[in-house]
Chains A and B, each alone.
Chain A
Amino acid sequence: MKETLTAYFNRSAESPAIQTKRIGKYGIFLAFILLCILLSLMTPRFLTVANLTIIVTQVSINALLAFGVTFVILTGGIDLSLGSMVAVTGVVAATFAHPDDYPLLVPIGVGLLAGVIFGALNGFVITRSRVAPFIVTLGTMTIGRGLALIISKGRPISNLSDSFNFIGGGHLFGIPFPIVILLIAFAVCSLILRKTILGRYIYAIGGNEQAARASGIQVSRVKMWVYTISGLLAAVAGIVLTSRITTGQPNAGVGFELSAIAAAIIGGTSTSGGSGTMAGTLIGALLIGVISNGLDLLNVTSYYQQVVMGAIIIGAVVLDGLNKKSS
């Protein structure tokens, strides 16, 4: 009896053959490689160390924001206040970054703290009010922009210390410092997502929030973390940007949230939450960078670049949809 029962259950399982073939998972990676090959064939100026370094440096700010918003989207939320957080944190950091005012750690620390507070407030309002994240962060996007203008009195804050300007413009062992920051952020974010309890809970909440709650996961706490991390990464991006342009610009970062969300989605993060990876998001951000760089090299005007980018975003979501359908 016991034997037959085991045999019986063995039989009733789905065979691996009908499990989904995940084309989409590597599709974006293949598309990225193909694009790079194509561009290097079309223009000799693409595949040079100098050009590639420029691309990655330019991508770094968008990628930092995209890492943050990937956490958020994975839980089924959205963060539209990224661009405003970049401005607020950049302006705050710049305020403390004049030469001989404070040691370097002060502008960095205060900037990061501003991002953490901003992000935590997003999370607090979202978890307490149960208003949709889209609406809440739409509101804080406007609030943030206002705050940046108030703090800077509407003027760019220039005359920053050399040590501060190193963050966005300096090199470490010949590598531009923003790339170093990008790589560290990527490693940490991947680790959080793949190896920590928080990461597991993020996937669980995005996959089925009710079931996650019924399983004893404190959903509000996880969401607080997610929006706070998003704020922290926006602050890192804000500091890098401010340092790169050597000015605290209250009007910086307008529309950045959209490119960041686009990078996450192109990279395969499901818009409804629950699936996606940091590596995908990184590829998504690089893809956006490579396309705009490639079109620049091919002398395509930036007007067309926007059209191409929009089409790619839609294409990525369609791919995601097809992928879901097949599973």
Chain B
Amino acid sequence: MSLTQDYILSVHGLSKSFAGVRALQDVCFQLRRGEVHALMGENGAGKSTFMRILVGMETADAGTILFEGNELKSSGVRQSRRFGISMIHQEMLVVPELTVAQNIFLGREKKKTLFGFLPGFSDDRTMSAEAGVLLQKLGLNLDPDLPMKYLSVAEMQMVEIAKAISNDAKVIIMDEPTSAISDREVAALFEVIEDLKCKGVAIIYISHKMEEVYKICDTITVLRDGKYIGTRPASELDKNGLITMMVGREISDLFPASTAAKGEALLSVRGLSQVGKFTNIHFDVHRGEVLGIAGLMGAGRTEVARALVGLDKPTGGEVYFKGKLTTIKTPSDAIRQGIGYVSEDRKGFGFIPELSVVNNLTLSSLPRHRKGVFVNEKSEQSAAEEMIRELKIKVSGPDQKVGVLSGGNQQKVVIGKVLLTEPELIILDEPTRGIDIGAKHEIYKLITRLTEAGMAVILISSELPEILGLCDRVVVLSKGRQTALLSKEEITQETIMKHAMEFSKPVDLLLNEE
């Protein structure tokens, strides 16, 4: 096989501008059959634009895309799907009310004729049977007639992969496929990826998680500022080298060292329970301390946080704040007492996209800027601008709407909003999810600064390096129960994982669980 034939996809000189702003500039990319090729770069590097062009959702201004040696003219999603390029979107594009089989065949239903003369009916039985075979091949024990809404995120993802395969996809693009699934499910996904690889399917893998990329990818291509930076075999590029390629400078000490002194217990949780979510949670958080909460997806981490800040009602147990028994019924109670919460669901619970950066920043602390019933805009403005400077939030102006900011800057706005309420305890739930490494580093430094200033931080994270790098102690949850409270010396990847899986028989965690 000659070298040129080896590349299923080769892209040259691809450029694209939006309203005069260059999103992609002269990008090159070559994809071999049967390889897993990581596309890395920070938010705004142009990865999504590039992928959208590949699947025909956007048209390039210049450049060529050769697919199996033929030039791929931009011609819509349907066309590129027919060529064999499929994309599995980060935000799953499924129809929840339709069955698994109907989702797999969406847009190209098998047709049948009713009574021999009424055409245009969908042949559900054949589709269901074919879908069943397909799912079996992927090792999935899923009922093809089950409505999609009953599936977990991981299962939906598998269905999307099944859909791509049924399309005879030769190239599958996966955009952050592991951002919302548990470690076990990740393992199952990786098995499927290995399998696809052996069958000669090429995979473009977009992820912010370096561990994953090094685990499964053969080749890494980096984009920065819409420009092609380079392509390297994964085995020849170390983490620091990769970070340098992505950010264009070196980041040493990703997790800054803390000099915070541990003070008295600020929050004491005693036997906190919520029926059906978690039981008997027990821990203290001290001033100057970062307490981690670790566990698998669905272990109850976010639920505990939501109960602490009044978003949900606990059904049992006591919470002491500054030594006094407290009842927090609503988020506004929590804020008044000095507890701030940054939700894992930034879009859902974090900010108001239509409001400006300033208005979002002061949303929780607006009563501090009141002049009678009116807003004291001067004091509001100055408080917000100080926070913008402090957190280095990158905005074109204070009136810019938060909806148009990058994920990292949106997250900073949400954190800034909480900080402006001057909390003594801040609960950060997956604070670095989906944001790029530069912004992550900023947030890590901020956490350290906050504890050094005597605040207490509860950090909920699925990324073990974060827990290992930042936390003084770690509560581990499994299936709604607290399985460990680890001291600094005991925190290792192994102990956390061991306790995180304590109550789960391995079979419970398998993707094929009924």
Contact = CB atoms under 8 A, between A and B. Distances in A.
B229 interface: no
Contact of B349 (A19, A214, A217): A214
Interface centre among B354, B377, B392 (most CB of A within 10 A): B354
Interface stretch (A93-101, A166-174, A203-211): A203-211
Interface in B390-424: 392, 394-397, 400, 403-406, 408-409, 417, 421
Give the interface residue-count category, chain A: 35 or more
Contact of B355 (A4, A13, A17, A204): A204
A327 B396 CA distance: 16
Given A210-B348, A215-B331, A200 B375 contact: yes
Nearest to B392: A9
Contacts of B311: 213-214
Given A9-B392, A12-B44, A216 B334 contact: yes
Interface string A1-29: 00011101111111111111000000000
A130 interface: no
A210 B312 CA distance: 12
Interface string B310-333: 010000000000000000001110
A37 B406 CA distance: 44
Interface stretch (A49-57, A157-165, A191-199, A304-312): A191-199
Given A196-B373, A197-B366, A216-B332, A211 B349 contact: yes
Interface string A75-92: 000000000000000000
Contact of B353 (A15, A16, A207, A212): A207
A140 to B, nearest CB: 27
Contacts of B367: 197
Contacts of A211: 348-352
A33 to B, nearest CB: 26
Contacts of B375: 195-197, 200
A275 interface: yes
B280 interface: no
Contacts of B336: 216
Contact of A212 (B19, B248, B352, B392): B352
B394 A15 contact: no
A218 interface: yes
A288 B359 CA distance: 33
A19 B363 contact: no
Contacts of A212: 352, 363
Contacts of A111: none
A13 B352 contact: no
A207 B353 CA distance: 7
Interface in A134-193: none
Nearest to A274: B354
Interface in B333-356: 334-336, 341, 343, 348-355
Contacts of B403: 327
Given A4-B249, A18-B18, A203-B352, A197 B44 contact: no
Contacts of A5: 392, 438
Contacts of B18: 18
A13 B409 contact: yes
A196 to B, nearest CB: 5
B21 A10 contact: no
A204 B354 CA distance: 8
B396 A14 contact: yes
B394 A13 contact: yes
Contacts of A201: 366
Give the interface residue-count category, chain B: 35 or more
A57 B502 CA distance: 74
Given A12-B408, A17-B20, A208 B352 contact: yes
B430 interface: no
B396 A19 contact: yes
B239 interface: no
B374 interface: yes
Contact of B395 (A13, A17, A20, A217): A13
B42 interface: yes
B245 to A, nearest CB: 14
A325 to B, nearest CB: 13
A201 B374 CA distance: 12
A193 to B, nearest CB: 11
Nearest to A4: B249
Contact of A215 (B20, B364, B406, B436): B364
Contacts of A216: 330-332, 334-336, 364, 421
Contacts of A12: 42-44, 394, 406, 408-409, 436, 438
A203 B331 contact: no
B384 to A, nearest CB: 13
B355 A207 contact: yes
B89 interface: no
Interface centre among A9, A10, A216 (most CB of B within 10 A): A216
B225 interface: yes
A323 to B, nearest CB: 12
Contacts of A18: 18-19, 21, 404
Contacts of A217: 332, 363
Contacts of A20: 404
A215 B408 contact: no
Nearest to B377: A195
A8 B355 contact: no
B343 A214 contact: yes
A207 B396 contact: no
Contacts of A17: 19-21
A275 to B, nearest CB: 5
Interface of B: 18-21, 42-44, 225, 247-249, 309, 311, 330-332, 334-336, 341, 343, 348-355, 359, 363-364, 366-367, 370, 373-375, 377, 392, 394-397, 400, 403-406, 408-409, 417, 421, 436, 438, 442
6 contacts: A12-B44, A17-B19, A214-B343, A215-B363, A216-B336, A274-B354
Given A211-B351, A214-B341, 8 more contacts: A12-B406, A12-B408, A13-B409, A14-B396, A16-B396, A18-B19, A20-B404, A214-B343
